[in-house]
């Protein structure tokens, strides 16, 4: 089994013991169907949208590790920070799939979208996606084409805006002596 | 909505036990989570729409069910959630990694340590941090105690709703003992906040192991008490057997996990299938039943309580030999140095300051970590940008998935059965709404 | 010298902190006008005693605090000794609303509706940090304190409060009522 046969395949990334298969946004439903039928990933664990607005605007640092492990006397990366790699588009949609077999193989199907892009709903592939897609529509504003009931689920029906986007303020009330916290 | 093509039956390789209780699929065709009133019924008969509003006496929190009734029979069902939406995910993006762990306990507020565990495991996975043995076993012990706690709350409240009111007091008697143990370990009964990235916040206090042994010795007789009250009670059996059927195929399609899936005959437990912590080193059985109804979900949870007691006993045996071992990793970039060192070492002082004010930095990456919480597969998807605060945290809530199955389970059900079904799915609204 | 509430029989505050300043009740009633506000006839005292001994709460459990509220009904922290174990499902039959848990904006409307459906006299206990002030959730989704929509008598802090802490709140409410302190909607002169 090779990941290149997934419809709309773009690339595969491995990290922290996890496999991420990036597919094209237009073919995501075909990719999910392929994963369910051919590869045996019957269980949709999760469906997550991530907003990367402002990702490449602030510096990040990783760890300084020495060969023998991390050393108390090696300083942090002040002044040597790098800018993170930019992401292809603003939103990523990740589908976390699980096969109910020995070894619990997992995969993350991922596709990228811009604000206003539409993505096909996978409710007909896994009915569990119903509420997950409604939640991502509610909190992130992703439009799912083909969803039978795309309405707000966690917030009130007349709420304006999509709170989990990075340009939506945290809300609440101002607190003295605290900036963001 | 275009229906996906049918899979050939031989392609499914699930660890299945038993026969399905009904042919085909009972997932509603139009919207999978809404049971629609048949149009013929609407014309002929008087269908009453009733609101099981967010405030109702069943203690499952703020769930709203809009139920269409034909007499006593439920012919239409739709669930409205969101009355406890707290914005955890947005809030956690504003806090440092250390402070964000505090939020996680409030998500599934009955199995709180499981949420903390899954988030802390995600941080450790991104950091590639090794956790000492003592912390791993203690985490396992506490999570199993939390599993017993969660199932006791389930049993007490479900029995209360079905009329077996005295079960509530029996279950809460043992629950108080468990909460005493949690209080001994970290000072708080609920929302213990005992797990840190790297291990435990503090060493295990003296006197914990004998108290925990006392609990482990008394728990089997308590379980016998519960079985004696409920298991041969004709009313309980009539109200739970054959009610709320959910076949294995429907359960997997709806993303069910945990006791609901195991009561439908699927032998799937993340502690066995993908062991985390030290579950591959302890001996326990995974209860699987084939009845697919409310009664079997109850039996799965009862058996899980017995198995958890066994696991706790094995953890105690191992932990008692680990006196004096470290309880947190030694990585000073992430873990606070011991307080005595702050007087003598300048680097310790600086690291302490940086970790507390700015927070430790977690390398860039994304991970998804899942564990077997009392409700099923509880997972967290964490995206880190390399900074001191998480970029995106998303909880995979087993209760969210469980409530999606209410419409499918409620076929030919009466109102009284609806209460039993919603209780058996064991949804915690904090977990559902996050 | 103006009489203080503790002179009317409010025991718990004196035991905990003898030199404490005016309590919330006294502040709202006005420390100098306390005499006028709290004159009670013997019949009123008897009625208040009866109301205190069977103040039935409404099942308004929202989140984690609800689990601790359930545990005060349990055998160890027995609420039945105060006559309060009968949690009424219908707000029409309830006297006390223990708002236990975080109140989201979506839930605020049902909360106000439940409060309106309760009959006078009625009291509200804001249990936990989330109900008192929004708690750790200072964000778009959570009402920053339930006293923005209902008048609150007692605030019980912590996250979640120990059952004993909730009980202390309930006992203080009983004592205040016995001493003659009016419920919050009267003190703050808001619509009931």
- Interchain CB distance below 8 Å, B173 and C106: no
State pLDDT tens for residues A164-179.
999 888 887 877 776 6
Average pLDDT, chain C: 86
Q: Which residue did the predictor score with more confidence, B216 or B127?
A: B216
Confidence at residue A69, expressed as pLDDT on a 0 to 100 scale? 47
The pLDDT of B163-169, averaged and rounded, is 89
Chain B: give the shortest CA distance to residue A32, in Å.
11
* Stretch 9-68 of chain B: residues touching chain C, C-beta under 8 Å: 53-57, 59, 61-62
At residue B101, does pLDDT exceed 60?
A: yes
The pLDDT of C95-119, averaged and rounded, is 92
Q: What angle do CA B304, B305, B309 make, to 5 degrees?
A: 115
- Interchain CB distance below 8 Å, C137 and A172: yes
Confidence at residue B38, expressed as pLDDT on a 0 to 100 scale? 84
Chain B: give the shortest CA distance to residue C141, in Å.
5
The pLDDT of B189-201, averaged and rounded, is 90
Of all residues in chain C, the percent with pLDDT exceeding 90 is 40
Q: Does B175 touch chain C (CB under 8 A)?
A: yes
At residue C50, does pLDDT exceed 70?
A: yes
Instruction: Give burial (CB, 10 Å; 0-12/13-18/19+) of B217.
Output: exposed
Which candidate, B328, B101, B105, places its Cα nearest to that of B203?
B328
pLDDT class of B5 with cuts at 50, 70, 90: low
d(CA A70, CA B77): 56
Which tokens belong to B174?
């043992």
Confidence at residue B45, expressed as pLDDT on a 0 to 100 scale? 73
Confidence at residue A64, expressed as pLDDT on a 0 to 100 scale? 47
Q: Does B385 touch chain A (CB under 8 A)?
A: yes
Lowest mean pLDDT among A78-82, A103-107, B27-31, C111-115: A78-82
* Homologous superfamily, domain A1-54+86-181: NADH:ubiquinone oxidoreductase Nqo5 subunit (3.30.460.80)
State pLDDT tens for residues B394-405.
999 999 999 999
State pLDDT tens for residues A52-85.
988 877 656 555 443 344 544 555 544 445 667 7
Confidence at residue B14, expressed as pLDDT on a 0 to 100 scale? 73
- Interchain CB distance below 8 Å, A173 and C144: yes
Q: Where are the domains of chain C?
A: 5-187
Per-residue burial over C17-50, b if 16 or more Cβ lie within 10 Å, else e, is eeeeeebebbebbeeeebeebbeeeeeeeeebee
Average pLDDT, chain B: 88
Which tokens belong to B141?
């012990």
The pLDDT of C133-148, averaged and rounded, is 90
Which tokens belong to C130?
């989330």
d(CA B123, CA B390): 10
Contacts of B157 in chain C (CB under 8 A): 70
* Stretch 131-170 of chain A: residues touching chain C, C-beta under 8 Å: 155-156, 163, 168-170
- Interchain CB distance below 8 Å, B106 and C101: no
Q: Where are the domains of chain A?
A: 1-54+86-181
At residue C167, does pLDDT exceed 80?
A: yes
Residue B410: how many CA atoms within 13 Å on its side-chain side?
37
Q: What angle do CA B119, B124, B130 make, to 5 degrees?
A: 140
State pLDDT tens for residues A125-177.
899 999 999 999 999 999 999 898 899 999 988 998 899 999 888 887 877 77
Q: Does C138 touch chain A (CB under 8 A)?
A: yes
d(CA B246, CA B405): 8
Confidence at residue B403, expressed as pLDDT on a 0 to 100 scale? 92
Confidence at residue C51, expressed as pLDDT on a 0 to 100 scale? 92
State pLDDT tens for residues B110-119.
999 999 999 9
State pLDDT tens for residues B310-358.
999 999 999 999 888 888 888 788 888 888 888 898 988 988 888 888 8
d(CA C29, CA B334): 52
Q: Does C42 touch chain A (CB under 8 A)?
A: no
Confidence at residue B57, expressed as pLDDT on a 0 to 100 scale? 77
Which tokens belong to A66?
């020495």
Of all residues in chain B, the percent with pLDDT exceeding 90 is 48
Average pLDDT, chain A: 82
**Backbone phi, then psi, for B321, in 5-degree steps?**
-90, 5
Contacts of B53 in chain C (CB under 8 A): 110
Confidence at residue B9, expressed as pLDDT on a 0 to 100 scale? 52
- Interchain CB distance below 8 Å, C114 and B55: yes
Q: Which residue did the predictor score with more confidence, B290 or C32?
A: B290
- Interchain CB distance below 8 Å, B366 and A51: no
Instruction: Measure CA A157 to chain center.
Output: 25
Chain A: give the shortest CA distance to residue B224, in Å.
33
d(CA C130, CA C112): 16
ipTM: 0.90
Q: What is the 3-class SS of B250-296, one letter each residue? A: HHHHCCCCCHHHHHCCECCCHHHHCCCCCHHHCCCCCCCCCCCCHHH
Lowest mean pLDDT among A100-104, B369-373, C118-122: A100-104
Which domains are delineated in chain B?
A: 88-433 (1.10.645.10)
Contacts of A135 in chain C (CB under 8 A): none
In the block, tokens 């996680």 appear at: B104
Which residue in A56, A127, A171 has the most chain B C-beta atoms within 10 A of its own C-beta, making it the best mutation to test that interface?
A127
* Stretch 111-140 of chain B: residues touching chain A, C-beta under 8 Å: 125-128
Confidence at residue A178, expressed as pLDDT on a 0 to 100 scale? 65
Cβ pair C125, C153 in contact under 8 A: yes
Dihedral sign computed on CA atoms, order C12, C18, C20, C22 = positive
| Second CATH level (architecture) for the domain C5-187 | 3-Layer(aba) Sandwich (3.40)
At residue B381, does pLDDT exceed 80?
A: yes
Which tokens belong to C50?
């009866």
Cα C51 to Cα B72, C55, C123, C181, distances in angstroms:
38, 6, 11, 13
| Coil/strand/helix, residue C60 | coil
The pLDDT of C88-103, averaged and rounded, is 91
- Interchain CB distance below 8 Å, A172 and C105: no
Which tokens belong to B412?
């030919």
* Stretch 4-33 of chain B: residues touching chain A, C-beta under 8 Å: 4-5, 7, 11-15, 27, 30-33
- Interchain CB distance below 8 Å, A72 and B34: no
At residue B3, does pLDDT exceed 70?
A: no
d(CA B376, CA B37): 30
| Coil/strand/helix, residue B12 | coil
At residue B218, does pLDDT exceed 80?
A: yes
């Amino acid at each position: 089994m090779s990941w290149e046969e997934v419809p709309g395949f773009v690339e595969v990334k491995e990290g922290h013991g996890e496999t991420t298969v990036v597919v094209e946004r237009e073919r995501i439903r075909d990719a999910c169907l392929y994963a369910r039928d051919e590869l045996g990933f019957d269980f949709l664990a999760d469906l997550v949208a991530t907003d990367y607005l402002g990702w490449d605007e602030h510096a990040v640092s990783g760890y300084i590790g020495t060969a023998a492990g991390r050393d108390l006397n090696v300083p942090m990366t002040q002044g040597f920070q790098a800018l993170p790699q930019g992401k292809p588009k603003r939103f990523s949609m990740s589908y976390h799939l699980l096969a109910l077999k020995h070894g619990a193989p997992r995969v993350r199907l991922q596709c990228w979208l811009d604000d206003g892009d539409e993505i096909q709903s996978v409710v007909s592939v896994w009915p569990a996606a119903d509420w997950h897609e409604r939640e991502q529509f509610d909190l992130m504003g992703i439009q799912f084409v083909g969803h039978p009931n795309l309405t707000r689920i966690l917030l009130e029906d007349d709420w304006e805006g999509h709170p989990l986007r990075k340009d939506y303020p945290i809300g609440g009330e101002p607190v003295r002596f605290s900036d963001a916290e | 909505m275009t229906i996906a093509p049918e899979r050939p039956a031989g392609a499914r390789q699930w660890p299945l036990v038993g026969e399905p209780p009904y042919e085909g699929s009972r997932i509603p065709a139009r919207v999978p989570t809404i049971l629609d009133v048949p149009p013929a019924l609407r014309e002929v008969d008087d269908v009453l729409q009733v609101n099981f509003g967010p405030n109702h006496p069943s203690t499952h929190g703020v769930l709203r069910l809009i139920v269409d009734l034909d007499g006593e029979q439920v012919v239409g069902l739709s669930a409205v959630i969101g009355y406890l939406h707290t914005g955890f995910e947005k809030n956690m993006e504003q806090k440092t990694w250390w402070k964000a762990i505090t939020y996680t306990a409030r998500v599934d507020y009955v199995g709180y340590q499981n949420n903390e565990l899954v988030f802390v495991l995600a941080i450790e996975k991104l950091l590639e941090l090794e956790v000492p043995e003592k912390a791993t076993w203690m985490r396992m012990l506490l999570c199993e105690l939390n599993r017993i706690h969660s199932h006791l709350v389930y049993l007490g409240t479900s029995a209360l709703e079905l009329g077996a009111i005295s079960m509530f007091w029996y279950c809460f008697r043992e629950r108080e003992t468990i909460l005493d143990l949690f209080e001994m370990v970290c000072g708080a009964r609920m929302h213990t906040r005992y797990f840190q990235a790297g291990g435990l916040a503090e060493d295990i206090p003296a006197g914990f192991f004998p108290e925990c042994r006392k609990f482990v010795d008394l728990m089997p007789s308590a379980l016998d008490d519960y079985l004696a009250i409920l298991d041969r009670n004709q009313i309980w059996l009539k109200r739970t057997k054959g009610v709320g059927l959910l076949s294995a195929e429907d359960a997997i399609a709806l993303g069910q996990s945990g006791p609901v899936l195991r009561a439908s005959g699927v032998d799937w437990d993340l502690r066995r299938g993908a062991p985390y912590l030290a579950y591959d080193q302890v001996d326990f059985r995974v209860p699987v039943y084939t009845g697919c109804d409310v009664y079997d979900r109850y039996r799965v949870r009862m058996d899980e309580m017995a198995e958890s007691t066994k696991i706790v006993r094995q953890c105690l045996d191992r932990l008692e030999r680990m006196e004096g071992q470290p309880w947190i990793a030694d990585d000073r970039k992430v873990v606070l140095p011991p307080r005595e060192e702050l007087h003598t070492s300048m680097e310790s002082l600086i690291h302490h300051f940086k970790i507390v004010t700015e927070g430790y930095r977690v390398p860039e990456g994304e991970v998804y970590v899942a564990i077997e919480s009392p409700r099923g597969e509880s997972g967290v998807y964490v995206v880190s940008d390399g900074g001191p605060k998480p970029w995106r945290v998303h909880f995979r809530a087993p209760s969210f998935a469980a409530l999606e199955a209410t419409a499918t389970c409620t076929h030919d059900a009466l109102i009284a059965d609806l209460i039993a079904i919603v209780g058996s799915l064991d949804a915690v609204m904090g977990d559902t709404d996050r | 010298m103006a009489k203080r509430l503790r002179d009317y029989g409010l025991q718990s505050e004196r035991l905990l902190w003898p030199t404490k300043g005016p309590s919330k009740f006294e502040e709202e009633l006005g420390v100098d006008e306390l005499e006028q506000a709290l004159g009670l006839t013997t019949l009123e005292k008897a009625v208040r005693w009866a109301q205190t001994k069977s103040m039935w709460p409404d099942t308004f459990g929202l989140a984690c605090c609800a689990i601790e509220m359930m545990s005060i009904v349990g055998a160890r922290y027995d609420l039945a000794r105060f006559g309060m174990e009968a949690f009424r499902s219908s707000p029409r039959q309830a006297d006390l609303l223990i708002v236990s848990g975080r109140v989201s904006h979506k839930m605020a409307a049902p909360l106000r509706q439940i409060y309106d459906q309760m009959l006078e006299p009625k009291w509200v206990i804001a249990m936990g940090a989330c109900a008192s002030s929004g708690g750790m959730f200072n964000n778009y989704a959570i009402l920053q304190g339930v006293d923005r929509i209902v008048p609150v008598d007692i605030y019980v802090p912590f996250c979640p409060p120990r059952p004993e802490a909730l009980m202390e709140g309930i006992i203080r409410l009983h004592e205040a009522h016995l001493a003659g302190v009016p419920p919050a909607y009267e003190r703050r002169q808001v619509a009931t």
